[in-house]
Amino acid sequence: MMQDTGIPSVAYAIQLVVAPAFLLTGIGAILGVMANRLARVVDRFRALHYASEEKEPGRDREMATLLRRSRWVHWGISLSTLAALLVCIVIAALFVGSEGIFNPSRAVSMLFITAMLVLIAGLLCFLREIALSTGTIERPEQ
């Protein structure tokens, strides 16, 4: 008598997990961009802070803007990371559900919706940081 090895259920779970795995890749790319922007903000802040003790025109205003930008990027990174963690939980729930231990459909739906809302919030934070950064660009006097 042949014993069921569960290969079809694992194959089905892998099929379900492919889309969230690509989503994780996308979130990872977004996190890389946000981390680079945060590094640039920190570098510029340090350069202004340690450049000279003299008060340059607009220096304090630019440092205040950099501080706001860093906070927005920080929130964007935190929320996007939380979205990635929720997607990982979705993937784990799909595998556990494929074993027939419990029906994960409701939990997976709620986790995925929450992950998308958190990711949207993270992207909105990133969008705000971009708006702040472009607001500091001034046209040189001719």
79, 119 in Cβ contact below 8 A?
yes
Q: Which two tokens stand for residue 9?
A: 């259920």
Instruction: Give the C-alpha distances (Å, rounded to integers) separating 127 from 5, 61, 133.
Output: 48, 21, 10
Q: Which residues contact 7 (CB under 8 A, 6 or more apart)?
A: none
Q: What is the pLDDT of residues 84-120, one digit of tens each?
A: 999 999 888 877 766 666 677 888 889 999 999 999 9
Q: Is the pLDDT of residue 136 over 80?
A: no
Share of the chain above pLDDT 70, in %: 77
Q: What is the pLDDT, as a whole number, of residue 2?
A: 47
Q: How many other C-beta atoms can be found within 10 angstroms of the C-beta atom of residue 127?
A: 12
Q: What is the pLDDT, as a whole number, of residue 4?
A: 54
Average pLDDT (48-69) is: 83
Q: Is 140 exposed, middle or buried (0-12, 13-18, 19+ CB in 10 A)?
A: exposed
